[in-house]
Structure 1
């Protein structure tokens, strides 16, 4: 009986997660996937890919209050001032508003800043704007989780 209950719970969780994914519109899924790719590009230092999705006036605000422009964010990744070793997103949701998408999420982030290791849990908000049929990240802000 215990095995049946365990299997049922796992099944229910899978169905719930799939229904949440399928409930998203095509545009919401596009932005969700772009946000997910962005984190991979940061870890893998794929600067050309990041450059293509960051708006020229993008502002990237870290959990310690450090704010970077688009160029500063790219330069800091390239120079090794900021190195992401691992980013694991645990939760993310997308909301659309007439050409604007807001992504809110939570995740584990590890890496180094100026050679000092960090391993933190963050909540974050990303704002994407659609320009010429392309989604661009215009703002990102993160907070430490308690």
Structure 2
């Protein structure tokens, strides 16, 4: 797969991840998260794979919509870094959530495909 094709593939995977979160497709989400993934949220909260999946499963976090407004991918040997912006809507601990984020996601090439290994988000004003 050439660099451009890899960028396009990972960008589609990155957007599919958000759809899976909204639609609670936890098996699909589970398969694309690396076992050691870290989610660093805009409030400084850090989660591992098990915590991300469980918060969606339990309803602690319900994503209702994710609108990616900008996303670019850069390929490195064995990794793809996605920088994006988006509007994230949902319910967290029973309270409505509507937040604009700037985020960085790192995907690593593994035997079973591209997996998300790190995610960090910052609030946009």
Q: Is 1:73 paired with 2:52?
A: yes
Matched position secondary structure for 1:25: helix
Any idea what SS the aligned residue of 1:64 has?
A: coil
Specify the alignment match of 2:15 in structure 1.
36
> Which residue of the partner structure matches residue 117 of structure 1?
96
Identify the match of residue 136 of structure 1 among 108, 115, 121: 115
In structure 2, C-alpha distance between the alignment counterparts of 1:41 and 1:60, rounded to whole Å: 16
Note the C-alpha offset of 1:66. Answer: 1.3
Q: Deviations over 1:94-136 (max 9, x none)?
A: 0010010000000100111111111011000000000116100
Matched pairs, number: 123
In the superposition, the TM-score normalised over structure 1's length comes to 0.82
> Which TM-score applies when normalising by structure 2?
0.95
Provide, for residues 45-70 of structure 1, a one-character-per-residue CA deviation record: whole Å limited to 9, x for no partner: 10000000000000111111111100
Question: Bigger relative contact order, structure 1 or 2, given CA contacts below 8 A and separation 6+?
Answer: 2
Q: Which residue of 1 aligns with 2:63?
A: 84
- RMSD over equivalenced CA pairs, Å: 1.0
Extract unaligned runs of 5+ from structure 1: 1-23
Greater fraction helix? 1
Aligned counterpart for 1:104 among listed residues 65, 83, 92: 83
Distance 1:96 1:27 in 2: 7
Q: Does 1:58 align with 2:46?
A: no
Q: State how far apart, in whole Å, the 2-side matches of 1:46 and 1:66 are.
A: 23
CA–CA distance in 1 between the matches of 2:13 and 2:48?
19
